[in-house]
Amino acid sequence: MLRFIHAADFHLDSAFAALTPRQAAARRRESRELPVRLANYVNQNNIDLVLLAGDLFDSAASYRDTAEELSAALGQMEAQVYIAPGNHDWYGPGSPYLTVKWPENVHIFTQPRLETMEWPEKNLVLHGAAFTHGEQADGFLTGFTAPADGKLHIGLLHGEIDPSEARYDPIRKEEIAASGLAYLALGHIHKRAEPLTFGGTVCA
């Protein structure tokens, strides 16, 4: 059995300008504590795999100590961690994904197209991509179908399902249904939802 956790949109270093000063201060405190709390949760619950679907930082040029704290917390996890950068923390020059040292159990997707990373001991193939700019008009999942090779195929993307505007990795429900993925981990919309099923793919 594989136990995984899926999270996204930490928006670390956000000023939370839309909130009242008191609410914003509370949120900033919570977001500084979040990486360590998450590491404790992962280790206490025997999680094998951590899927982080982008916008972990609020901007592509976050404070260095924020990124170092996240890196250290992820390194504490007794799990393999995969990251797909999003529209706020897009992968590019100056990004903490390039400038900070990440531990060996952390794997970051860096290309603006689907790539695979394999974890053979778990018979697992991860399919992910990175925003490399603040917008991504072409959907990463377009035209993709995972091979039916008996392996467990999981997708990790920052993007939105059937958006009105194609700016943030638009993903159509039909594309998810045709993907052959067992699970698709998404980020971007800041709203927890029950898992959805399209075709044979569970998606959240």
Q: How far is the CB of 202 from Mn ion (least distance, A)?
A: 21
Give the residue with the Cβ less far from Mn ion, 55 or 175.
55
The strand pair at 106-108 and 80-83 is best described as: parallel
Candidate segments 35-43, 102-110, 141-149, 185-193, binder of Mn ion by CB under 5 A = 185-193
Task: List the structure tokens of 199.
Answer: 């075709």
C-beta separation of 201 from 68 below 8 A: no
x/- contact string, 73-112, with Mn ion (CB under 5 A)? -------------xx-------------------------
What's the rounded Cα separation, in Å, for the pair 126 and 13?
Answer: 28
Q: How far is the CB of 107 from Mn ion (least distance, A)?
A: 20
Residue of 35, 42, 55, 57 that binds Mn ion (CB under 5 A): 55
Give the residue with the Cβ less far from Mn ion, 127 or 188.
188
Give the residue with the Cβ less far from Mn ion, 14 or 201.
14
Q: How far is the CB of 160 from Mn ion (least distance, A)?
A: 8
Radius of gyration, CA atoms only, the chain: 16
By CB under 5 A, residue 160 contacts Mn ion? no
By CB under 5 A, residue 188 contacts Mn ion? yes
Tell me the residue number closest to Mn ion, measured at CB.
Answer: 188
Give the residue with the Cβ less far from Mn ion, 47 or 171.
171
Candidate segments 22-30, 31-39, 52-60, 139-147, binder of Mn ion by CB under 5 A = 52-60
User: DSSP states of 147-196 as a string?
Assistant: --SSSEEEEEEE-EES-SSTTB-EE-HHHHHTS--SEEEEESS------E
Q: Which helix (H) or strand (E) holds 97?
A: helix 96-99
Maximum Cα–Cα distance for the chain, whole Å?
A: 53
Q: Which amino acid is at 91?
A: Y
Q: How far is the CB of 127 from Mn ion (least distance, A)?
A: 19
Q: How far is the CB of 113 from Mn ion (least distance, A)?
A: 18
Q: Pick the closest to residue 127 from 113, 137, 143, 148 (CA basis).
A: 113
Instruction: List residues binding Mn ion (CB under 5 A).
Output: 55, 86-87, 188
